[in-house]
Structure 1
């Protein structure tokens, strides 16, 4: 028999989001994040990325999309609240969607930043 998963209070969720996932917020019992893209192509790429990660993790978010944005919402329906599964999947989504190879100094150069034909996602500006 499966054991009950720990759910977090709103105050605990807000604190974890502030520390671990500053671009996510709590609303209506979900942790949420809107990713801005440059086009429908970028939107589809984000949706497919989130879908792959969710299926691999066996923890599935709700996704809403439009031409130049994707909103990801996570909650644990079985546990009736936000659990570690939600935080862990949100972190993995952040890591993959906002990966910028060009900033790592390796062989991978990333999408050309100065040519909108190849623009993919609107990356968050670094916090100072």
Structure 2
């Protein structure tokens, strides 16, 4: 399937099944990341910005003190395409990463609220 072909409702539902926390509304896929503070919000915005720029596919972002909403659609195709789901997956992998759960050399952020920044929903 060409990467700019608009996906139908069944294909969208199938791809969303692999992206917990994401939903479809009005031709967009949307995810809200909850953070502990403005610091966490900025970290999410910067991570998403880096990934979007590297992918050359740009989301709409809305932010407040303790949350960031990421909205993806392919404007040139006027709908949802493989590009949107590929970028959503990469964003989810990076923003949702919890190295402390992997048991490797990286222990992850402490549970102390002074250092927490993302409110993981899994």
Q: What TM bracket, shorter-length normalisation?
A: over 0.9
User: Where does residue 21 of structure 1 map in the other structure?
Assistant: 19
Q: Decide which of 32, 35, 38 is 2:33's aligned counterpart.
A: 35
Q: Distance in 2 between matches of 1:4 and 1:56?
A: 16
Match status 1:120 vs 2:101: no
User: What SS is found at the alignment partner of 2:62?
Assistant: strand
Q: Distance in 2 between matches of 1:26 and 1:14?
A: 8
Q: CA deviation at 1:100?
A: 0.6
Q: Distance in 1 between matches of 2:3 and 2:121?
A: 36
Instruction: Answer whether contact 2:51 2:91 (CA < 8 A) is retained.
Output: yes
**Count of aligned pairs between the two proteins:** 121
TM-score (norm 1): 0.90
Q: CA RMSD in A?
A: 1.3
User: What SS is found at the alignment partner of 2:114?
Assistant: helix
Segments of 4+ in structure 1 off by > 3 A? none
User: What SS is found at the alignment partner of 1:63?
Assistant: strand
